[in-house]
Structure 1
Amino acid sequence: MLALALIALFLSVIAVAAGPAPREAAAVPWILLGVVTALDLVLSFRRPKAVSFEAPPEIFVGETVALRIGIEGAPANLRARLDWPEGVQGSGEIAFEPGPDGTMTATVPCRAKRRGLWRFEHIWLLWASRLALLEFVPRLTVGAELRVVPNIRLVQSGQITTTVLSTLYGVKENRAIGEGSEFQQLRDFVPGMDIKTIDWKRSARRRSLVAKELRAERNHHVIVALDNGYLMREEIGGQPKIDHAVTAALATAWAAAIGGDLVGYYSYDVQPRTFAAPSPGRKAFARLRNWTAELDYVSRETNHTLALSELNARTPKRSLIIIFTDFIDTTSAELLIENIGILAKRHLLIFVAIRDPDLEALVETAPGDLEGAAALVAANQSLHERRLVFERLSRMGVTIIDAKPDAITPRLISAYLEIKARELI
């Protein structure tokens, strides 16, 4: 269109400059251009009828799925751009191919970045006319929704169930018989058994030696405490820290439910938000999953003093408390350390911090200029202060899990199983 307009302009200028007689023909190129444009418009105009949008009912956060989009009544050279909502991410330009029924279809990869219910409002279409003079850019309403939920892929795969059952009820369980704290059964004392297992009162009544057989105690209270403050919104590995924490919390809650313990949950930021008392079985996991799916992303600062004091008041029985939180430096962590110390006097604590791989990569890379050297010094200082906080917490008897996002879940489940085996709760 631009090239033809320039040619028409050139011919018009020549006609005007040539004299009075040719001047009357100066409008002819523009008339021809208008006729060709109108013809191109008639031949190429299409009105897309409807948009079909196919997607899974749920997508796990951090995973990528394929969306299928269909446009009825669109031309063959169709391209499009989708208005992506905040919580999902996809390609910029979408190329369509003709389907068997004449519908233009496209398969679009979509990555879930944040939990929530995200709505696709519009899609912008683009196709060129047959003579390439015009481009049509209509906007169609999609009106589709996509639900992004916490990632429970490990739970669905059965990997956690197999690990927990084989650990608690397999060979290790057989070795632990007689070393636990919960009564299992009475049996006749035979040579080779520990004399400390003899129940002298029952032996006196029966007039024969009877030994008590013990097993590891179950039905412990396990509470998942999630800090939902602004520091947990920092993205690591393409996801906010809170989503990594939710994934690990759900996996551990499932392991605890399989292991026979009671699971509860607690969330807080500037003040305590949600608390659910420990309850048994898989219903507790279902409640925890629904709760974490509705956990908002907030920008409020965390009040550790109020939150952990409230948690201590709500849990009178000794429990295993798994705290997912973060801090910036030793100064900001002072109140956190102080209140965790109070909790550690009654409960058994696991402190979970998510390590930033980019920060470690920065430390391991030699700087190329003064700005890089300054960044290296700052990163080293940050890592050193984190180690100081972890050392102080370790001296209080707190189990520390400081790992990269992909290693948090296996290390946390291993720590839980070790605590169960050693009967530390």
Structure 2
Amino acid sequence: MKNFFNLFYKNLFLTNRLFTGLGSCAALFVLAFFFPWLGVIPQLFFYTLVILVIVDGTMLYRTKKGVFAKRHAPERLSNSDDNELGIYIENWYPFNISIGIIDEIPVQFQKRDIWFKTDLTPRQRKLINYVLRPTKRGEYEFGLIRVYVQTSLGLLRRRYNFSQAETLPVYPSFLQMRKYELMAISNNLTEIGVKKIRRLGHSLEFEQVKNYVQGDDYRTINWKATARQGNLMVNNYTDEKSQHIYCIIEKSRAMKMPFEGLSLLDYAINASLVLSNVALLKEDKAGLITIGEKIGAVVPADRRPTQINKILEVLYKEKTRYLETNMELLYSTVRSVIKQRSLVVFFTNYESMSALQRQLPFLKRIAKFHLLLVVFFENTELKKVSEQPAADVEGIYIKTIAEKFAYDKKLIVKELAKHNIQSILSTPQNLTINTINRYLELKARQKI
């Protein structure tokens, strides 16, 4: 009995409709002092309200389990993407109810407005979908599902607590990876902004002899096959395969800068994951190296079916460091791990020429043995400041400094090109597309 009353009081809530009724009742009693003709109307109103409250409570509590709720969530969440979750709700009451649902989502989202309202008829089932967008990798803990039920009277509300505590890992953007994967399989990468590169020559990998169609290169005509068949026949070539593609991700404090909730490291991780997957679909070998003041993870290049999962698991655990990157250690690691000429994509960030000059000697050494592509970020906030008109003297100073930093970024691109080092200066949101663009371009131009 004691447990019943504790459960009753803990899960019973009074609604605004009941407080409105009590307020109206109090107002009638006050008015009865000044207007005696009201007579017993206040008492009748009060007793009617009491009876309705008893009826409402009886309807809510006469069934031990009136509703059922369960959270539908994926096994893991994708960082920086909209992840769809759902709450399954079922009405076991023999009458219509109105419900409110609170899902205790992880504290990382800092949201207190996950409140859903809906109406259910007897035995009706419903799935309520909602979207969460995580901006940090790691483990996210979900709590209880709390369901508040009220009848058509709406004077009381009963709460049901469904214990569904679970921990979901947030991985690098595998949803984005799958989107590009489908595009790469169907050769439709141009539909999402990836450029189609004109082929300037032919790779050495012969594929087949086929009939000539309008638009084929005349230089590929196979005259012997043409003589035998009596129709124009051309040689068909395919991109070279099994080329090594390595993504090197810097984890120093320069990559901790945030943009739209994500750090630059997370943008680099998402882009490297997609690039590795596209490279594997193109039958190249993908590898990974992470570097801070010491070497983080090293995944040798391979094209086995399990390679992308291995890279995904490694990237899931990576975090930014606060010390300067050890470029000498990176160079020695590249020389010892990467045994043949490869495309090395180095994700980093430079805010000034002096930052580049500290690393340039080691970049030049790596570029002697491999095709080096340095990827760094455009500071979009500084760009906005430089494009806004100055309102006063202080604004002129701020705008001048912002323009100076933006100009330094362009000088960095020229300085790298002077030493035969490829580079990409990209905004964070366009990093993935720009990186895949350059990979496909270098592959089509047979630079690797």
TM-score over 0.5 for the pair: yes
Where does residue 178 of structure 2 map in the other structure? 153
Tell me which of 363, 378, 401 is aligned to 2:424. 401
Q: Indicate whether 1:267 and 2:267 are aligned.
A: no
Residues 275 and 432 in structure 2, CA contact (< 8 A), matched pair in contact too: yes
Where does residue 93 of structure 1 map in the other structure? 115
- For 1:239-263, what per-residue CA distance to the aligned partner results, in whole angstroms no more than 9, with x for missing partners? 4333332332233223433444332
- For 1:144-170, what per-residue CA distance to the aligned partner results, in whole angstroms no more than 9, with x for missing partners? 454544331344314367379xxxxx9
Where does residue 123 of structure 1 map in the other structure? 145
Residues 48 and 71 in structure 1, CA contact (< 8 A), matched pair in contact too: no
- Work out the CA distance in 2 between the residues paired with 1:306 and 1:121: 47
CA shift in 2, pair 1:35/1:394, >3 Å: same
Counterpart residue type for residue 57 of structure 2: L
Where does residue 303 of structure 1 map in the other structure? 325
Q: Indicate whether 1:248 and 2:274 are aligned.
A: no
CA shift in 2, pair 1:39/1:48, >3 Å: closer
Query: Secondary structure of the equivalent of 1:322?
Result: strand
Where does residue 38 of structure 2 map in the other structure? none
Instruction: Give the alignment of 1:159-170 within 5 angstroms.
Output: 159=184, 162=187
- For 1:242-286, what per-residue CA distance to the aligned partner results, in whole angstroms no more than 9, with x for missing partners? 333233223322343344433211112342110022224544334
Tell me which of 12, 22, 42 is aligned to 2:58. 42
- Work out the CA distance in 2 between the residues paired with 1:152 and 1:162: 15
Where does residue 187 of structure 1 map in the other structure? none
Instruction: Give the alignment of 1:10-409 within 5 angstroms.
Output: 37-45=53-61, 49-73=67-91, 76-85=97-106, 92-98=114-120, 101-103=123-125, 105-127=127-149, 131-137=153-159, 139-144=161-166, 146-149=168-171, 150=173, 151-159=176-184, 162=187, 172=199, 175-176=201-202, 219-292=242-315, 294-298=316-320, 300-305=322-327, 307-315=329-337, 317=339, 318-367=341-390, 376-409=399-432
- For 1:12-71, what per-residue CA distance to the aligned partner results, in whole angstroms no more than 9, with x for missing partners? 889999xxxxxxxxx999998766655543344475554222234455433324322123
Give structure 2 stretches of 5+ with no counterpart: 1-17, 35-42, 190-196, 208-218, 220-236
Counterpart residue type for residue 358 of structure 2: L
- Work out the CA distance in 2 between the residues paired with 1:48 and 1:100: 10
Deviation at 1:396, TM superposition (A): 2.2
- Work out the CA distance in 1 between the residues paired with 2:443 and 2:90: 59
Report the RMSD for the aligned CA atoms in angstroms: 4.4
Give structure 1 stretches of 5+ with no counterpart: 18-26, 165-169, 185-192, 194-213
Query: Secondary structure of the equivalent of 2:317?
Result: coil
Deviation at 1:321, TM superposition (A): 1.2
CA shift in 2, pair 1:230/1:128, >3 Å: farther
Deviation at 1:351, TM superposition (A): 0.8
Q: TM-score, normalised by structure 1?
A: 0.70
Residues 253 and 323 in structure 2, CA contact (< 8 A), matched pair in contact too: yes
Query: Secondary structure of the equivalent of 2:375?
Result: strand
- Work out the CA distance in 2 between the residues paired with 1:99 and 1:370: 66
Deviation at 1:129, TM superposition (A): 6.2
Counterpart residue type for residue 153 of structure 1: R
- For 1:194-219, what per-residue CA distance to the aligned partner results, in whole angstroms no more than 9, with x for missing partners? xxxxxxxxxxxxxxxxxxxx998654
Query: Secondary structure of the equivalent of 1:79?
Result: strand
CA shift in 2, pair 1:172/1:331, >3 Å: closer
Count of residues paired in the alignment: 380
Tell me whether 337-346 or 316-325 shows the greater mean CA deviation. 337-346
CA shift in 2, pair 1:312/1:79, >3 Å: same
- For 1:323-370, what per-residue CA distance to the aligned partner results, in whole angstroms no more than 9, with x for missing partners? 112244444444333432332333321111233444433433335677
Counterpart residue type for residue 176 of structure 1: H
- For 1:377-421, what per-residue CA distance to the aligned partner results, in whole angstroms no more than 9, with x for missing partners? 453333233233333322222211112345333332332334334
Counterpart residue type for residue 41 of structure 1: G
Residues 308 and 343 in structure 1, CA contact (< 8 A), matched pair in contact too: no
Query: Secondary structure of the equivalent of 1:340?
Result: helix
- Work out the CA distance in 2 between the residues paired with 1:127 and 1:49: 8
- Work out the CA distance in 2 between the residues paired with 1:359 and 1:405: 14
Residues 177 and 277 in structure 2, CA contact (< 8 A), matched pair in contact too: no
Query: Secondary structure of the equivalent of 1:244?
Result: helix
CA shift in 2, pair 1:160/1:100, >3 Å: farther
Counterpart residue type for residue 157 of structure 1: L
Deviation at 1:322, TM superposition (A): 0.6
- Work out the CA distance in 2 between the residues paired with 1:124 and 1:398: 57
- Work out the CA distance in 1 between the residues paired with 2:271 and 2:126: 41
Counterpart residue type for residue 325 of structure 1: T
